[in-house]
Amino acid sequence: MSTIGSFEGFQPVSLKQEEDDQPFENDHLSTNEGNSGKDPVPRKLSRQQSMTKATLYPNPYRQPYVSRKYFVARPGAIETAVEDLKGHIAQTSGETVQGFWLLTEIDHWNNEKEKILLLTDKTLLICKYDFIMLSCVQMQQVPLSAICRICLGKFVFPGMSLDKRPGEGLRICWGTTEGWSLLSRWNPWSTEVPYATFTEHPMKNTSEEFIEICKLSGFTAKLVPAIENAQKNSAGSGSGKELMVLTQPILIETYTGLMSFIGNRNKLGYSLARGSIGF
């Protein structure tokens, strides 16, 4: 302390003196209690100062500016998307949508893709929607009666994998991997994958609306009985399939993962504001 005080331009400051100049609320209370005849105005002023400090310096539990980068969070975006998809489904198949969710799909190359999932009495629809242009880019229809297995668990990777992800997910299987060709397995754009893997969307904790539609447990609670009802209704066709719900690790067979490393870090699978580019 003596060395710091010897530098030019520095003056020692007493913290105790500053505290004496601004007494705490308890000090005012003790003074007012001891002198009952005095005006209690100082006690009110000290409380107002404490409340002002708490208001000016809040401690938020989330950052709202981060969520604004996602176009799905723009006012009316998710509502417009769901109405467009509902109208398309009603015109093409005549089915009624029972519920919708906003989740993140993880493909067999560990790439994240923003998806809207819609559930009807007979079909699970997995939709890739462009929230920038407000248009549906791709729609995959999976008959509920064809789904044979649902797996819930943590993500696991091969021991030599360089790109691993934490967290838990859900895998929906409607076929076996025995007939899955090697060419399709190593094709990152293959559409012949007999399963789909999902996890919760990054927007899940930004508002009450997104908490409901981004919750993986809520989607699973609606999906399982819908599949069971669809399989009961199609039992007369002789399919004989029964749904298996398993709790086990979900394997993602990627080793190098350079493509997913670049894509996932930059959120290329989401409709995201990339910032202004120009001069």
Looking at the fold, whether 30 and 144 belong to one and the same domain comes out as no
Pair 120, 33 in one domain = no
> pLDDT tens digit string along 106-157?
998 899 999 999 999 999 999 999 999 999 999 999 999 999 999 999 999 8
Residues 47 and 69 in one domain: no
Q: Render pLDDT for 18-30 as a digit per residue (tens, 0 to 9).
A: 444 444 444 444 4
Question: Are 205 and 226 in the same domain?
Answer: yes
Asked whether residue 36 falls in the same domain as residue 173, the answer is no
Residues 43, 125: one domain? no
User: How many domains does the chain contain in total?
Assistant: 2
Q: Is residue 1 part of a domain?
A: no
Question: Would you say residue 5 has pLDDT above 50?
Answer: no
Q: Does residue 124 form part of some domain?
A: yes
Both 181 and 103 in one domain: the answer is yes
Q: Range of 21's domain?
A: 15-56
Least confident stretch, 40-44, 98-102, 247-251, 264-268: 40-44
pLDDT at 13 over 70: no
CB atoms within 10 A of CB 44: 11
Residues 114 and 45 in one domain: no
Do 110 and 214 belong together in one domain?
Answer: yes
- CA–CA gap between residue 136 and residue 80 (Å, rounded): 11
- The pLDDT, as a whole number, for residue 265 is 86
| Mean pLDDT, residues 83-93 taken together | 94
The position carrying tokens 């000290």 is 46
Backbone angles phi, psi at 212, to 5 degrees: -75, -45
Mark whether 28 and 118 lie in a shared domain. Answer: no
The pLDDT, as a whole number, for residue 131 is 95
Would residue 9 count as lying in a domain?
A: no
Do 236 and 111 share a domain, yes or no? yes
22 and 95 assigned to the same domain: no
